[in-house]
Amino acid sequence: MGSLSNIVFILSPQAVTALANKGKGLEPRLHTVLNLVDGVTPVVQYLPFLKMLEPVEEKFAELEAMGYLVRVGMVSPLAVKVFQDSVAAGASVTSLPNIDARTADSGFMPLD
Amino acid sequence: MKVYKRTSEGKWAAFDDLSPLPRKLRILLKAVNGKAPEEVYIKSLSAFGDVHALLQSLEQAGLIADRGQRSSSKPSAAMAPPTPAQPTPQRPNVMPVVALPGLVMPGLVTPIRAAAAPTVHTAAAGPKPAPAGANMFERTEVLPNDRAHGGRSSARPVEWQVLPVLTDDAPAPQGLPLRMPVLGLPGDPPTLTTEMTDPVALAAMADLADLADLADSARLQTPPASKDAFVAGPAWGASAAAPVGLAVNVPAPAFDATNPAALALADLAALSARDAMAELAALAESSARAVPSHEASPLASISPENLLAHNALMAAANDEPIADAATTRATVRHAVELMSNFLLDHVPRAASQVLPEVESIHSLEQWAELMDGYAAFVAPAGELGRLHLLQIRRMLAQALQAADVGSKGWYA
């Protein structure tokens, strides 16, 4: 399985039901990550802000495998690289680019 | 017990549209108010999942910081033997009560006609005679702010507040010094205060006084249910006959959202209004027991359209509309923050459902569309909710009037 960094997820109906039941039957950390999915933010953009929930990318993969998350599209690899480089350089949050699907810079491409 | 506050980066990340923070984390970040301990968030925002881990993550990202332990020092201080000379506690000059003409609320502030010319204390120049027409105001009841700011009890001496009063025949000069009381500790020297000469501050205060007038008029139409429900005395009549205040006499200048002082003062005004409303709500709740609920608050029937008309009547002839996108955006953002805070404070169960919707408001049109649904969610908060709605609707009406944008939203 390749990297999920540039993937944008959306909640499946199953996930909506699970969240309505306050994540009953779901591991708390998975529930937390699931609750943060908004349908516009690529996985890479969660990583700097969820240090205490690491490994975050694996949790996304697990939730997708469980049928809670559905891929809705992906942002451009270039946007992801710019974002990752900024994080690696220790840039403050005010200098990090916003590459969510609503922005033109993200190069967002919806999936069929 | 950790009490988080937003850092400067956190403030930016919570409210700026360019922020890379994921949307739902922004909601959590907005909920951090610098007052509530972490446990409150963990309990009331359980729908977020592991709130503890999320807050720690935000802390690691530098968006929030622990203010330090607030309450742990109190027991040890209480057990310590008294020292003969306690140094004056270092604390910020909080200004929880703003007594202004037009803001004379029954039971809260009582105007007293001074026989001799009252004295105004000035931090720099010391006592000096008050201007002609000045009234003296005395707090007659303990406000909830007393406990909110420092947790001191009602046994503290209450400071006298001397305020100039404007009348119809005495137009307000620009730069009128407005005195704000600072709650003091026993033995504190008379602490004062900032002279507010900024016209923006005057406008903010005018809004506050105006809001209190509306609430006050609602009270006047509701007969007191019992002797205990309201504080009797001259305050009742005095508030009805209060001289026309700043709302009429001071033309409201444009609110400059890029001016930090203006933003801070607007926040201060909102805080004071909220406190005042909380007190009014508590009083109204006690009086509403004896009157049918549909008569208890005429505020509920005030629509944005009526408020718009009210604003038009109140506006001075030479008022100019304020219409730039930055101001509108700041107003929308401020309203979103107010609504988010209210939801989290008063209807936390519904907060997780409504907050994403509230947080998604980016234009006046969205805001107006959401108001009906929002009102339904706020309804369980009772009188306080109705007063909050009044404030939000009033902000909306003012923003619509100021922006006069028709159907143009600023968010693409």
| B54-103 pLDDT per residue, tens | 999 999 999 999 887 544 444 443 344 444 444 444 444 333 333 343 44
Q: Which residue has better confidence, B338 or B223?
A: B338
- pLDDT category at B404 given cuts 50, 70, 90 is low
Rounded to whole angstroms, the maximal C-alpha distance in chain B is 67
pLDDT of residue B396: 84
Mean pLDDT of the region B158-186 = 40
For residue A32, list chain B residues with Cβ-Cβ distance below 8 A. Answer: 48-50, 53-54
Does residue B339 register a pLDDT over 60? yes
Verify whether the Cβ–Cβ distance A92 to B9 is below 8 Å. yes
The shortest C-alpha distance from B370 to chain A (Å) reads: 20
Verify whether the Cβ–Cβ distance A93 to B47 is below 8 Å. no
Q: Which of B311, B372, B309, B380 shows the shortest CA–CA distance to B345?
A: B380
Does residue B138 register a pLDDT over 90? no
For residue A93, list chain B residues with Cβ-Cβ distance below 8 A. Answer: 9, 12-13, 19-21, 61-63
Percent over 70 (pLDDT), chain B: 35
C-alpha to C-alpha distances, B226 to B219, B229, B289, nearest whole angstrom: 14, 5, 10
Verify whether the Cβ–Cβ distance B50 to A97 is below 8 Å. no
C-alpha to C-alpha distances, B376 to A20, B31, B239, B373, B382, nearest whole angstrom: 20, 21, 32, 5, 11
CB-count burial class (<10 Å; 0-12, 13-18, 19+) for B254: middle
Q: What are the pLDDT digits (tens) for B265-303? A: 555 445 445 554 555 555 455 544 434 444 444 444 445
Contact partners, residue A60, CB within 8 Å, separation at least 6: A4, A7, A9, A33, A43, A69
pLDDT of residue A62: 94
- pLDDT category at B49 given cuts 50, 70, 90 is confident
Mean pLDDT score across all residues of chain B: 58
pTM given for the model: 0.41
Nearest to B50 among A32, A49, A93 (CB): A32
